[in-house]
Amino acid sequence: MDEPVLLTGAGGAVGEAILNGIGTEYYWRLMFHSPPVENPNHEYVVGDVANDEDVAEAMDGVGAVIHLAGDPRPEAPWSSVLTNNIDGTQRMYEAALDEGVDRFIYASSNHAVGAYEDERKPDLYRPHDEYQLDGTELPRPSNLYGVSKAAGEVLGRYYHDTHDIDVCNIRIGNLTKGHPPIDYERGQAMWLSYRDCAHIHECALEADYDFEIVYGISDNDRKYYSIERAKEVLGYEPQDNSAHFEGEKRVVEPDA
């Protein structure tokens, strides 16, 4: 890809994982909500996805978008998710359309389908349970943040159908740096390692597709999110598995 890839929300954990894993593979334009503490090794802008001028500046001349920006708090109030997650995503799509960008990768979330767990937990977190979501199910958000992520997926459906933008919605699981959460069954079942996070986004940049909803988790022994669609359509080949860390203990560094 000759044009820059716009990465919004570049200062968050998903942005860190992507840049650590495939940062040298593309020409990036990073968008931060607040000035970064250290200057990144890539072109960047500081702006707000709720501001049309900021979004237009960030989108200028790019070839693809990975949209991570928004309020990531599961407990975020409606006023925030409406402004930052829903309106902000719609602004991003409109700017992409104005700029002629034809590939939009959207960071959705496990919270868009969190309510499917209510009647099945804790069994669905355990290896003997075969229940899986595969991305064809309707959203069942577990909070208003999840509602905003489901809305972002529907916006992608609209912009694909109406304007022929290629859209990949990645329902990101439990991203952690290093070990998965050893003593947390749900976190292990939906664990996504940093390198698998970078890899699935690289696949989404390179693969041939129209509109997709896939799950972004590692190849864990127990998973209630299917990654078969990500493998089939994107060519996703995850390398990590939360079960490989069973019995290990996290090392907690003492406070400085």
Per-residue pLDDT tens digits for 19-35: 999 999 999 999 999 99
- Rounded Cα distance between 168 and 147, Å, is 18
Would you kindly state where each structural domain of the chain is located, as residue ranges? Answer: 5-244
Q: Catalytic residues, which ones?
A: 145
Average pLDDT over residues 142-158: 98
pTM value? 0.94
Supply φ then ψ for residue 68, to 5 degrees.
-110, -20
For residue range 106-137, list pLDDT tens digits in order.
999 999 999 999 989 999 999 889 999 999 99
Q: What is the pLDDT of residues 40-63, one digit of tens each?
A: 999 999 999 999 999 999 999 999
The domain 5-244: what is its CATH number?
A: 3.40.50.720
Q: Which of 101, 131, 88, 126 is nearest to 113 (CA)?
A: 131
d(CA 94, CA 83) in angstroms, rounded, equals 15
